[in-house]
Amino acid sequence: MTTTTARATPISARGYSQTFPCVPESAGLARDLVTTALRAWHLETQLNEAALVATELVANAVQHGSGHYLVFSVERPAHSRVRIHVTDQSCIQPTLRSPDEEETKGRGLLLVSVLSVGWGTDVHTSGKTVWAELMDEAGT
């Protein structure tokens, strides 16, 4: 399958945004963008957590959102903080679940809540934005 996406657009010196098709493969594209941004900002210590958070947020938007595209952004609101957000065209808010051991799905937001210092949803007229913030362990 061939997909065409827009190039990553710097939204400032502190962030990047890119529109992706609403398909599972977009999680890998989001990981690539997060990796590029964190390396540019010299925040490599947050790479693993940020890549996992990006994957889960995009996967949720693909699985539960509506529309043909999503907007993925990664920003640096403070020196040691990274904010990842995904905007889709569904107004249905995500739900944090506590799945049983036997369940194979439903752990995405649980992982996001454990790996981030905060997460949430902003609903707007054309859909919603789900975001999570990570902070460098050293806080520097």
2 inside domain: no
Query: How many domains does the structure of the chain reveal?
Result: 1
1 inside domain: no
Instruction: Encode pLDDT of 22-74 as tens digits.
Output: 999 999 999 999 999 999 999 999 999 999 999 999 999 999 888 899 999 99
Residue type, 86: V
Across the chain, mean pLDDT equals 86
Which residue range is the domain that position 127 belongs to?
9-135
Closest by Cα among 91, 81, 89, 61 to 135: 81
CATH code at position 64: 3.30.565.10
Instruction: Encode pLDDT of 24-37 as tens digits.
Output: 999 999 999 999 99
47 inside domain: yes
4 inside domain: no
Q: Rounded to two decimals, what is the model's pTM?
A: 0.85
The pLDDT assigned to 26 comes to: 97
79 inside domain: yes
